[in-house]
Amino acid sequence: MSEQPLGEFDLITRYFDRGAPRRARLGIGDDCALLAPLPAGAVLAVTSDMLVAGRHFLPESDPEGVGHKTLAVNLSDLAAMGAQPVAFTLSMSLPQIDTAWLEKFARGLFAIADRHDCELIGGDTTRGPLNLCVTAFGEVPSGVALRRDLAQPGDDVWVSGSVGGAAYALSRLLGPTPPATGDLSVRRLERPEPRVALGIALRHLARAAIDVSDGLLGDLAHLCERSRVAARIDWSSVPIAMQISGLDEGVQQRFALAGGDDYELLFTAPAENRTGIQALSSSLQLALTRIGEILPGSGVQLVDGRGMPIPVSAQSFDHFA
Ligand code: ADP
Ligand code: MG
């Protein structure tokens, strides 16, 4: 017996509506979702990120990874503000209803949503080129959000985890002998882990923060512009991904400093918080590395271990460049 073609509403019911909402007063199924007001003293953090097949992920990518990443990149923006995830909407344009793809996509999406207690409360579904857009809502106490414009001269510059692994994985996927999508070596690209717990813990330790989605130097430049400061980064202290440590140094720099998609947090903090940040690194079991400092002026300068300038040809990823 052949299966009935699935309509838009069956699709939503089957894959995305999980019954009575836990957080929203009203979830999927009406014209709007209804959310209770935030507790007094909290503000709502809102972010939106779109993933387009062929641009942000390869069309043949493991659908479970695509589901994961669609939400992960938004949770990373909430993390970069120190916000606690609350809920999200999902708007999707699909070329056809591929039930096997949707099932895996939903599995990846809800696995990360549940881990962060972030509830799907609505969305939109249309036919068109594969395109996935999430808007995520988070909560942060008023006055403590980690904004881009709060860095001050004298601050240390820190980065979480390691950088360059995702760009390296992408170069392998696009290379002559690509690993299978879903292969462990491309995990860093397909399953970025948003640093939500770190962002929340940094509310009272860091001053400014940004997530590294377009490349460390480019994202740091955005932070510096917003804060009207300069930064100096010591290349010898940048925590590069293990997979790229054997490569030519110029290539390492390109992956680690200009490669995108790592979704680590780059943040600044006053020097008196060094011990607190190191303690946080142990308690989260996540490397936090001091890679430079904020200075008066403008621009981002890269130096080697002896303080000698390294020319920066590496530009961050710009969709319109
Ligand atoms: P409307 O036409 O009023 O915008 P829709 O018919 O598009 O409503 O959607 C019906 C319900 O299903 C709404 O509650 C909407 O939020 C939800 N919805 C639609 N697409 C999705 C999706 N991809 N994921 C989650 N909820 C969805
Ligand atoms: Mg609609």
Domain harbouring 266, CATH code: 3.90.650.10
Q: Which of 34, 125, 130, 137 to mutate to test the pocket of ligand 1 (most atoms within 8 A of CB)?
A: 125
Same domain, 92 and 172: no
Q: How many domains is the chain partitioned into structurally?
A: 2
| Region 80-94 average pLDDT | 98
The pLDDT value given to residue 315: 46
The pLDDT value given to residue 181: 78
The pLDDT value given to residue 1: 43
Structure tokens given for 67: 């589901």
Q: Which of 34, 88, 93, 124 to mutate to test the pocket of ligand 1 (most atoms within 8 A of CB)?
A: 124
> Is 51 a member of any domain?
yes
* Per-residue pLDDT at 320 exceeds 60: no
Q: 210-260, pLDDT tens digit by residue?
A: 999 999 999 999 999 999 999 999 999 999 999 999 999 999 999 999 998
Q: Rounded to an integer, what distance in angstroms lies between the CA atom of residue 260 and that of residue 192?
A: 11
Same domain, 99 and 214: no
Range of the domain at 35: 8-141
Query: Which amino acid residue places its CA nearest to atom 7 of ligand 1?
Result: 124
The pLDDT value given to residue 321: 43
φ, ψ for residue 193, nearest 5 deg: -100, 105
> Is 315 a member of any domain?
no
- Ligand 2 centre to CA of 107 (Å) is 23
Nearest Cα neighbor of 277 from 196, 206, 212 is 206
* Per-residue pLDDT at 317 exceeds 80: no
- Ligand 2 centre to CA of 183 (Å) is 36
When computed from its CA atoms, the radius of gyration of the chain, rounded to whole angstroms, is 20
What is the CA 39 to chain-centroid distance, rounded?
Answer: 26
Same domain, 21 and 110: yes
Same domain, 284 and 160: yes
The pLDDT value given to residue 314: 46
Same domain, 163 and 291: yes
The pLDDT value given to residue 185: 80
> Is 151 a member of any domain?
no
The pLDDT value given to residue 119: 97
Same domain, 203 and 134: no
Nearest Cα neighbor of 243 from 177, 159, 192, 169 is 169
> Which positions ≥6 away from 118 have C-beta within 8 Å?
71, 75, 85, 86, 87, 88, 136
Pairing of strands 230-234, 288-295: antiparallel
Same domain, 26 and 136: yes
> Is 146 a member of any domain?
no
Q: 88: buried, middle or exposed (CB in 10 Å: 19+, 13-18, 0-12)?
A: buried
> Is 148 a member of any domain?
no
Q: Which whole-number Å values give the CA distances from 22 to 15, 28, 35, 121, 140, in the listed order? A: 17, 12, 11, 10, 20
Same domain, 213 and 279: yes
Per-residue confidence at 313, pLDDT binned at 50, 70, 90?
Answer: low
Same domain, 251 and 135: no
Same domain, 285 and 165: yes
Map tokens 């996540």 to a residue: 286
Pocket of ligand 1 (CB under 6 A): 12, 16, 28-31, 90, 92, 120, 122-125
Same domain, 204 and 86: no
> Is 298 a member of any domain?
yes
Same domain, 193 and 118: no
Nearest Cα neighbor of 233 from 224, 242, 225, 245 is 224
> Is 318 a member of any domain?
no
> Is 150 a member of any domain?
no
Tell me the CATH number at 85. Answer: 3.30.1330.10
